[in-house]
Amino acid sequence: MLPQWFNNWNRDNPTDIYGPAILVGALGAAVIVVAALVSFGQPYATDSLQTGPRGTGMSVPEFQADLATPDPSIEALYTEAPYIPEGGEPLAKDVYQNVQVLGDLTEDNFNRVMGAITQWVAPEQGCAYCHGDVDLAEYGSDDLYTKVVARSMIQMTQNINEGWDGHVNANKQVGVTCYTCHRGENVPSDIWFRITPVHSRAAEGWSANQNRVTAQSQYTSLPSDALEAYLLNGEVIGVHDLEAHVDTKPYEEGYPTWQNAERTFSLMNYVSNSLGVNCVFCHNTRAFYDGAQVTPQWGTESLGIAMVNELNNDWLVPLKDTYPPERLGPVYADAPKAACKTCHKGYQQPLQGTNVIADWPELATTGAPVYE
């Protein structure tokens, strides 16, 4: 029994004991949950790709739930098996007018490829996107720029599959088609245009290409001209000298300045986001700069950089005068260009490694297709 004075005091001075009790209980539960996480590890199952020696942190981890989630573009992928020629079938160049590419295909396979390109690039507009709303007899006309561009893109696709096997098929046979970039859109996502300098300099120095949030810099303060420098102009990718107080001057040819390093970091950040990987996917944590200690993926990526340079300079930039003004860049009226993300779109392999070329031998080579 408590003293009467204590009971009287509690009666006259009521106190809320439930609120603090709930607060203490919630905090205690949170501490228990945190302790459990620390003790038992990551509650969500992960999988990882080991890219270098174990124990060095050279792995690319991903949640298994994410790995099990397919790229939504895969479900929308249109494909159709080829018609195996038996000999004697009419050829497209003999049936239709002005067939400058794929003319040696049989009429059935030619129409099959044209139908697929329609599904990959212009599913809503249909054939009219390239040929216009005209009779079939007028499909040979080159009046629409879309048809001229499409013809060049078919040749570019054949060139990629034939000339860049070391990059495209580094892991397994997958190939590329128009769908690899377009994904059912007239204009592929993740194309880019020149935008630098992004502001005017008040004085000489290094300011005009960075410290401005742009898509090219992946919305960081890194330089915005990395894609232009390395995926268009073909400049050497390199960082500043690893030695201190090197007796060289920034204006000397071949001198790797801090600006080169920052531009390189900008490109690497872009590549990482494009493929959904981290730095150790290609580099050894012990020596990021040493080409003798890199992972096999470094070679694949190097080929990819060289490939994109070729695509931009040999195929995409030359189309500038073919495009109408609304298809050109907002600053320099330049032609749209490609980069890693145009195909990969955040995945290590485009369309998560789906073999898109299996049914399309016509796009796999500049020569006669091999039907199996």
Given a cut of 50, whether residue 203 has pLDDT beyond it is no
Answer yes or no: is 248 within a domain: yes
Pair 127, 213 in one domain: no
Number of H-type helices and E-type strands within the chain? 14, 2
Distances (CA, A) of 365 to 92, 247, 311, 369: 17, 51, 16, 7
Pair 238, 152 in one domain: no
Answer yes or no: is 274 within a domain: yes
Q: Is 63 helix (H, G, I), strand (E, B) or coil?
A: strand
What is the distance, to the nearest Å, from the Cα of residue 329 to the centroid of all Cα atoms in its chain? 19
- Alpha helices (H) along 90-191: 92-95, 107-121, 128-131, 145-163, 165-168, 178-182
> Can you name the residues that pair with 62 across neighbouring β-strands?
47
pLDDT for the residue numbered 259: 82
Predicted confidence (pLDDT) per residue in 253-290, tens digit? 777 777 888 899 999 999 999 999 989 899 988 888 88
Q: Which domain holds residue 223?
A: 190-344
Answer yes or no: is 50 within a domain: no
Given a cut of 90, whether residue 361 has pLDDT beyond it is yes
Burial of residue 302, with CB atoms counted within 10 A of its CB: 0-12 exposed, 13-18 middle, 19 or more buried: middle
Pair 108, 250 in one domain: no
Predicted confidence (pLDDT) per residue in 148-184, tens digit? 999 999 999 999 999 999 999 998 999 999 999 999 9
More confident residue, 50 or 356: 356
**CA neighbor of 158 nearest in space, from 363, 371, 356:** 363
Locate tokens 């561009």: which residue? Answer: 149
Answer yes or no: is 104 within a domain: yes
Pair 196, 340 in one domain: yes
Q: How many domains does the chain have?
A: 2
The CA-to-CA distance between both ends of the chain, in Å, stands at 96
Count of other CB atoms within 10 angstroms of residue 70: 11
Answer yes or no: is 17 within a domain: no
Pair 227, 135 in one domain: no
Pair 162, 212 in one domain: no
Pair 128, 201 in one domain: no
Answer yes or no: is 142 within a domain: yes
Please state, for a pLDDT cut of 90, what percent of the chain lies above it: 59
Pair 212, 319 in one domain: yes
**CA neighbor of 213 nearest in space, from 200, 222, 205:** 222
Pair 122, 218 in one domain: no
CA dist 151 and 137 (Å) reads: 18
Answer yes or no: is 9 within a domain: no
Given a cut of 60, whether residue 201 has pLDDT beyond it is no
Answer yes or no: is 197 within a domain: yes
CA dihedral for 119, 121, 125, 131, sign (positive or negative): negative
Pair 79, 159 in one domain: yes
Pair 169, 225 in one domain: no
Output the domain CATH number for residue 156.
1.10.468.10
**CA neighbor of 279 nearest in space, from 292, 291, 263, 295:** 295
As a whole number of Å, the CA-based R_g of the chain is 29
Instruction: Output the average pLDDT for the chain.
Output: 88
